[in-house]
Every structure is written in C-alpha cells, then in structure tokens.
Structure 1
Amino acid sequence: MPRLGSRHGTSPFIWCAAIICAIISVAVIIGGIVIFVGYMVIHPRVPIISVSDAHLNLLKYDIVGVLQTEIRIVIRAENDNAKAHALFDKTEFKLIYEGKTIAYLRQDEFEVNKERSVYSEYTVQSYPIPLNPTMMQAIDYAVKQDVITFELKGGSKTRWRVGPLGSVKFDCSLSCDLRFRPSDHSYIPSPCTSAHKH
C-alpha cells in the first residue's frame, strides 16, 4: 500500500508572529484615531512669526563702493492656541540688499506657551559689501528718496506639543521688505507676517 504523506501543522513561531503583527496593526490604527480625535478637539492654530520692530543702526558706504550696515530686528513668535504649547526650531533668516545676502539671523529652539508671544531681538552687522555700479546707483537713489529697502527671507519649523497625542509640524515662513529712512535711521512699519497668517 502506498504511504500517505504526513501533514504538518502551522509553526507556533508563525502563529506568534502573526498575532504580534495583528496587535501592532490595531495599536497603530487606535493611535491614529486618538491623534485625529485629539487634533479635532484641540484644533490648535498655526503659530505665527512676524516683524514687530526694527531700526537701522548703521548705514555707511564710501566712494570706493563698500557698504556696511547694522540693523536691529525684533521678531515676534506668536502662539494663539489655548490648549497647546508651540515649539519653534531651526529659525533662520537672510537679510538681502539688491539681491545680495548681507547677513544671517539664527536662533536655537525655543518654546512659546499657550496664548503667549515671545520677542527675539537680533542685531545684525553685515560684513563689508563691495557694491557694483548698479548697487551704487540704487543706494544713491535710496538716500535721495530717503527710503532704503532690505529683504528679509526665512522662517522657522514649528510644532505643537499636545501631550500624549503626538505633535503636528508646520513651516512658518517670512518673505517681506524692511524699509528704513536713511535720514534718521527709523523703521517704516509695514505688514511682515508668516504665510500662515490669515
């Protein structure tokens, strides 16, 4: 008589692996639901960065065509959320004149509490900047018109701290003009807020 082939059951190791995978899958699904529900309940607003104040401390250029500046800029980090703290990280801005980057503004990670604002003051001094003929004409014109314009570009990585519910990340970015009067070095206020401001 022919022998029947023996039948082997599923290995206990495979059963354990399947059970563990199922448990992990359920945990991930539940975690996602909890984070989603928590977000809908807390519904935090996107943090905002803006220029609060500025001052042209120094504006110096000579007939050789070398420009030196020193500008004080106050950046406001605003957290309108009533139920969540906000963390700002990798905060960096570039100060630009006539398309040329003349200085960088950087800050380490910091936290803004619920419904609070933090003001950060930067005093940036540019290195001596050689001016080409076009830039010389631009600065001469600015002095005659008594308005000189610099560009400020950059931003910060932000995230909400919502306890055990996890965190949500956003980019807050600025791209605006800073205008000053060379005659008295005063700042001409104008809206300069992050793209997420509504």
Structure 2
Amino acid sequence: MATPYHVQSPRSILLKMIATKQQPPALPPPPPPKLILQPRQRTSPAMWCAAIVCFAFSLLLIAAGAVILVVFLAVRPRAPSFDAAGATLNAVYVGSTSPAPYVNGDMTVAANVSNPNQKMDVVFRSAAVELFFGGRRMAAQALQAPFVQRRGQSQIISVHMVSSQVALPPELAVAMVNQVRSNRVVYTIRGTFKVQAKLWFWHYTYSMSALCDLELTAPPCGVLVARRCITRQHSS
C-alpha cells in the first residue's frame, strides 16, 4: 500500500518561504586567539648578587646552628644546685598584740651552692633567699653578688634570716606555738637567682629558683633533722 503524501495548502507554503527569507544568515566561526609572546627579560646582576648573598647567609646560619648543637652535646650544660647543708633555729618568739599576733625569729642556714658542670663556669649575677612559715614570709636576705662558681666547685654560704615583728594570722600563730612545743618546726626557704653560664667566648643568662622544706627541732639550739630541696631552671 503506497504511503500517502501530505498535501500542504498554498498559504502554508507561502508562510514558510517568508519565514525562511527573514532568518539572518549564519555567522562564520570566530578566528582562534593569537598568542602574543613577550620577549624574555634577562636577570640583572644586582638580582644575582642578592641571591648569592642570601644563599651564603643561609649556609652561615646552618653552620652556626650545627656548631652550637655540637657544643651543646659535648658540654651538656646543667643548672647549679642549691641545698641546705645545715640550719640552726636560734630563737622563736610569738607575741600577742592587737589586731594580730606577731613573731620574732632567728635562723642561720648553711646553703650549699654547687656547679655540676665539668666544662663551664657559672656566675651568679644576683641571688636572694626568703624564709616562709605556712606560706607567710618571715624574712628575706640578699646574697652578695656577683660571685663565680668554677666548674665542679661547691661553696657553703651562711645565710642569716631574722624575723622582726612579723604579723601572723591567729591560726598560723597557734600552729607555730604548737610546733615549738612538739619540738618539730617546719619552715620553707625559697631562693631566686640570675645565672650566667660561660664557655670560652660564648655565654648565656637564665633564671633559677630553689625551694627547700626544712624541719628543725625547737630553739634555742634547734638543729636540722630533715630537708627536701628542688632546683628549677627558667628561661629568661
């Protein structure tokens, strides 16, 4: 069976011809973009000199760091130690006045300061020792400085701590009286130091602190029966 043809009217054919004439002609594709190559600029001698100087400076820093590391590993610097070799409690008197009790005291501490380093000296630029009872400061004493500690050297320093009319809270005054009666008086010593380590032409400074808990018998001839000391190094 033959396929029937669709018969269009003359008007439809005319409208299609008019629409075809009204369409704009197809535009040609745009040309590809042209690459413009800039001429290569040559590096100036000043830039080369700056690069060489930066490279040399970097090598110098690396070499200095390696030398410092080798020296540190060879020397192994350590902070000095502070210890109470002995102590004598000469007097303790607790008085009562208004508005708060007070205490007078007299103690002598034989402080042992030692330099454990075998390849470097240390210099104590400043040194101070404070005496505490139950967290309340009783006395303070600055040590004569500066003084030098040679490598491996130990030194005994006598520190005289005098408490005069120091006000105490009532509970601390009662605790001190009870400790004197029980023949066991507990004090705390805190030391603060500024130390300079010296090795040939190289030196550096740091801070150091020491904390000692002391247990003594009652005055007038109180002697040291127990102690515990801790020394810490702090960066400046």
Report the equivalent of 1:59.
92
Report the equivalent of 1:129.
166
Normalized against structure 2, the TM-score is what? Answer: 0.68
The alignment partner of 2:119 has SS state of: coil
Give the RMSD, CA atoms, in angstroms. 2.7
1:166-193 deviation per Cα after TM superposition (whole angstroms, max 9, x unaligned): 3466654322322222243322242433
The one-letter amino acid of 1:41's match is A
Matched, 1:155 2:192: yes
The alignment partner of 1:115 has SS state of: coil
The alignment partner of 1:81 has SS state of: coil
Q: 1:121 to 1:18 in 2, by over 3 A?
A: farther
Quick check: 2:90–2:108 contact (8 Å CA) kept in 1? yes
Q: How does 1:80-119 map to 2 (within 5 A)?
A: 80-107=116-143, 108-119=145-156
User: After the TM superposition, which of the residue ranges 89-98 and 131-140 deviates more from structure 2?
Assistant: 89-98
The alignment partner of 1:146 has SS state of: coil
The alignment partner of 2:181 has SS state of: helix
Cα offset, 1:134, TM superposition? 0.6
Normalized against structure 1, the TM-score is what? Answer: 0.79
The one-letter amino acid of 1:119's match is I
Matched residues in 2 for 1:81 and 1:130: separation?
42
Matched residues in 1 for 2:215 and 2:76: separation?
36
Matched residues in 2 for 1:74 and 1:55: separation?
9
The alignment partner of 2:228 has SS state of: coil
The one-letter amino acid of 1:49's match is F
Residue 78 (structure 1) aligned to one of 106, 110, 114: 114
Quick check: 1:48–1:172 contact (8 Å CA) kept in 2? no
Cα offset, 1:102, TM superposition? 1.9
Report the equivalent of 1:145.
182
The one-letter amino acid of 2:190's match is K
Quick check: 1:48–1:193 contact (8 Å CA) kept in 2? no
In structure 1, list runs of 5 or more residues that go unmatched.
none
Report the equivalent of 1:36.
69
In structure 2, list runs of 5 or more residues that go unmatched.
1-37
Report the equivalent of 1:10.
44
Which structure is richer in relative contact order (CA contacts within 8 A, separation 6 or more)?
1
Quick check: 1:174–1:192 contact (8 Å CA) kept in 2? no
Q: 1:184 to 1:51 in 2, by over 3 A?
A: same
Cα offset, 1:67, TM superposition? 0.7
1:77-99 deviation per Cα after TM superposition (whole angstroms, max 9, x unaligned): 11122221123344333211122
User: After the TM superposition, which of the residue ranges 166-175 and 101-110 deviates more from structure 2?
Assistant: 166-175
Cα offset, 1:195, TM superposition? 3.5
User: After the TM superposition, which of the residue ranges 28-37 and 82-91 deviates more from structure 2?
Assistant: 82-91
Matched, 1:185 2:218: no
Matched residues in 2 for 1:68 and 1:131: separation?
11
Q: 1:146 to 1:44 in 2, by over 3 A?
A: same
Q: 1:42 to 1:145 in 2, by over 3 A?
A: same
Q: 1:183 to 1:195 in 2, by over 3 A?
A: closer
1:22-62 deviation per Cα after TM superposition (whole angstroms, max 9, x unaligned): 33322221111112112222234442111122222332222
Equivalenced residues, count: 191
